[in-house]
Amino acid sequence: MATTTHAPPARPPATSTDRRRRIAARPAAWIVWGVVIFFFLNLLGVVASVLVSSFGQRWFDTWLPDGYTTSWYARAWDEFALLQVIVVTLEVSVLVVGLSLVIGVPAAYALARRSFPGKRLIFLVFLLPILMPPITYGIPLATVLYKFGLAGHMSGVVLANLVPSVPFVILTMTPFIEQIDPRIESAARMCGAGLRTVFLRVLTPLLVPGILASAILVLVRTVGMFELTFLTAGPDSQTLVVALYYSMSASGIRAQQSVDAMAVIYTSMMLVLLVVALRYVNPTQLVAQVKDEPEH
Per-residue pLDDT reduced to its tens digit, 165-188: 999 899 888 888 888 888 887 888
Domain assignment of residue 102, yes or no: yes
Identify whether residues 178 and 232 lie together within a single domain: yes
Nearest to 232, CA basis, from 140, 153, 148, 147: 153
Most confident of 31-40, 102-111, 283-292: 102-111
Same domain, 182 and 256: yes
pLDDT at 149 over 70: yes
Judge if 205 and 169 occupy the same domain: yes
| Residue where a domain terminates, one of 40, 68, 96 | 68
pLDDT score of 20: 58
Q: How confident is the model at residue 22 (pLDDT cuts 50, 70, 90)?
A: low
Q: Are 198 and 141 in contact (CB under 8 A)?
A: no
pLDDT band, residue 296 (cuts 50/70/90): very low
Domain count of the fold of the chain: 2
Q: What is the pLDDT of residue 25?
A: 54
50 within domain boundaries: yes
CATH number of 235's domain: 1.10.3720.10
Instruction: Check whether residue 188 and residue 217 sit in a common domain.
Output: yes
Q: Report which of residues 60 and 289 the model is more confident about.
A: 60
Residues 166 and 86 both lie in one domain: yes
CA distance 190 to 126: 34
Is residue 227 a part of any domain in this protein?
yes
Segment of 115-119, 145-149, 245-249, 258-262 carrying the highest mean pLDDT: 145-149
Half-sphere exposure (CA, 13 Å, Cβ side) for 216?
20
Most confident of 92-101, 169-178, 194-203: 92-101
The per-residue pLDDT for 206 is 82
pLDDT average, residue stretch 189-194: 78
Q: What's the one-letter identity of residue 129?
A: P
Is the same domain home to 54 and 80? Answer: no
59 — alpha (psi -120 to 50), left (phi > 0) or beta? beta
Q: What does the alpha-carbon distance between residue 171 and residue 104 come to, in Å, rounded to a whole number? A: 9
Q: What are phi and psi for residue 68, nearest 5 degrees? A: -130, 145
Average pLDDT over the chain, rounded to an integer: 80
Write down which residue in 16, 35, 68 finishes a domain.
68
Residue 229 contacts residue 88 (beta carbons within 8 Å):
no
292, part of any domain: no
One domain for residues 49 and 118 = no
Query: Do residues 111 and 250 share a domain?
Result: yes
Looking at the fold, whether 198 and 55 belong to one and the same domain comes out as no
**Domain range enclosing 152:** 74-287
E strand or H helix that includes residue 94 = helix 82-113
Please give the model's pTM, rounded to 2 decimal places: 0.75
* Residue that terminates a domain, selected from 36, 68, 100: 68
- Specify if 239 maps to a domain: yes
Q: Assess whether 78 and 62 both reside in one domain.
A: no
42 shares its domain with 126: no
Shared domain check, 167 and 256 = yes
What share of the chain in percent tops pLDDT 90? 21
Q: According to the model, what pLDDT value does residue 49 have?
A: 82
**Is residue 4 in a domain?**
no
pLDDT band with cut points at 50, 70 and 90 for residue 230: very high
Q: Is residue 5 part of a domain?
A: no
> Tell me, what amino acid is at 38?
F
- What distance in Å separates the CA atoms of residue 141 and residue 147, rounded to the nearest whole number? 10
Phi, psi (deg, nearest 5) at residue 56: -85, 145
* The pLDDT value given to residue 95: 95
Q: Is the pLDDT of residue 94 over 90?
A: yes
In a domain, 9, yes or no: no
